[in-house]
Amino acid sequence: MTLNPSLDRTVQVDRLERGAVLRTSAPTLEPGGKGVNLTRALSRNGIDSIAVLPVGGPEGAELSALLDAAGVATRLVPVNGRTRSNLTVSEPDGTATKLNEPGSPLSTADFSVLATVLAGLVSARDWVVFSGSIPPECSADQLVALMTSVTDLGASLAVDTSGDALTASISARPRVIKPNRAELAEAVGRELGSISEVIVAAEELRSRGVERVLVSLGADGAVLVGEHGAIVGESTVLEHRSTVGAGDCFLAGFLSKFSADESDEESALVEALAWGAAAVGLPGTSVPGPGDIAYSNVHLVWQPDLDRPLVAT
């Protein structure tokens, strides 16, 4: 479920300079929104997934056409607002500057239709992921009600969002949440400077009703915290091209393994790191396929230095 999808345009520049007139590469136009990226990544690797999203206006029509051309399974809900259009400016070292529009509000009727669509798709054996930002004027009650409609059907809920939306979603008792370091810090109200502090913060969210907290830490790897403790993993990226969508591919990789065998958390974390690293090596918001994903530069850290300062972000 992507409540605030986007039409993503990516251009490359030699160096981003504020106030300058810059020449860019030819633009790459791709379907965007974190949940859309997640479905694209799963589908590219032969795993069934359906992208559910509201669409509106000419941007929504173009987004729909791109998803159809890519062979992505969708359930599109027409709305009166306009689908947002985002711009990413990428530099050769992998630095990406994103200019994201806020999107259009969804009406009460729109939420009702989305709930009906979900009810017709979801069964108790499914995973449903709510991913990305929420539209303007979306209340916590509306968000949680939509999430709860999924868990009431017996489906497993995963959440990848931030700020007040992440905090509110905890009351829906998701099985997995995937914050990055900054999002986790915001959720607990303090800075997180080491792996040990990340683990303590993740346990704090677990105490509020989350089953597992999957934390992406960029160059510092990732941490999975669940009922059996914490698992730490790292990956090496040989060529940084774009971090846009890497977190979505990270979660897709995790769910591709975990949804099939929940007892093998270690393999699920390795898969997450491999998919995320592969995404960083691709341009724009491209998602990795089987030929892009390598495991040689991914490993679990069995005796991590829990107090080592994390790389600044």
Active site members:
248
Phi-psi region of 43 (alpha: psi -120 to 50; beta: other; left: phi over 0): alpha
**Which residues pair with residue 74 across a beta bridge?**
51
- Euclidean distance between CA atoms 260 and 240, whole angstroms: 30
- Euclidean distance between CA atoms 258 and 121, whole angstroms: 21
Cβ atoms of 215 and 209 within 8 Å: the answer is no
Structure tokens at 134: 């929420």
Q: Tell me how far apart the terminal alpha carbons of the chain are, to the nearest angstrom.
A: 28
Listed in order, strand segments (DSSP E) in 172-259 are 176-177, 212-216, 222-226, 229-235
Name residue 140's amino acid: A
- Euclidean distance between CA atoms 268 and 283, whole angstroms: 25
Cβ atoms of 115 and 130 within 8 Å: the answer is no
Going by C-beta distance under 8 Å and a sequence separation of 6 or more, which residues neighbour residue 199?
223, 225, 230, 306
Cβ atoms of 78 and 106 within 8 Å: the answer is no
Which secondary structure element, helix H or strand E, spans residue 69, and what is its range? helix 57-69
**Which residues pair with residue 32 across a beta bridge?**
6
Name residue 250's amino acid: F
Cβ atoms of 206 and 298 within 8 Å: the answer is no
- Euclidean distance between CA atoms 41 and 201, whole angstroms: 29
